[in-house]
Amino acid sequence: NAGVTQTPKFQVLKTGQSMTLQCAQDMNHNSMYWYRQDPGMGLRLIYYSASEGTTDKGEVPNGYNVSRLNKREFSLRLESAAPSQTSVYFCASNREEAFFGQGTRLTVV
């Protein structure tokens, strides 16, 4: 039982490049989330998906897009990366308690 799997674990991008962070869960959860972690800011919600086919903005959605491809997968896309998007990104899913992926450390130079 893998839980929540996030890829990649590390990524360095140049300003203006694009990339997609992948997230998949095997727990049949309806709800999935993308967060970013920055020093002193805790976990801030970027986007969430309450069920397959729906997505909603969180606290800090600007510069990001998401796709809920199916019940298992929820991807986060940076169309044109900026240094301000340097962060650690976490994907999570839940029915009651949330389960988190291992995180993606992204650096934009």
Q: Which stretch binds other proteins (CB under 8 A): 19-27, 68-76, 77-85, 101-109?
A: 101-109
Q: Which of 5, 22, 45, 73 binds other proteins (CB under 8 A)?
A: 45
Q: Does residue 63 belong to the site contacting other proteins (CB under 8 A)?
A: no
Q: Does residue 21 belong to the site contacting other proteins (CB under 8 A)?
A: no
Say how many C-beta atoms besides its own lie within 10 A of residue 9's C-beta.
Answer: 10
Q: Which of 23, 24, 25, 33 binds other proteins (CB under 8 A)?
A: 33
Q: What share of the chain is helix, strand, coil (3-state, %, to 5)?
A: 5, 55, 40
17 versus 31: smaller Cβ distance to other proteins: 31
14 versus 39: smaller Cβ distance to other proteins: 39
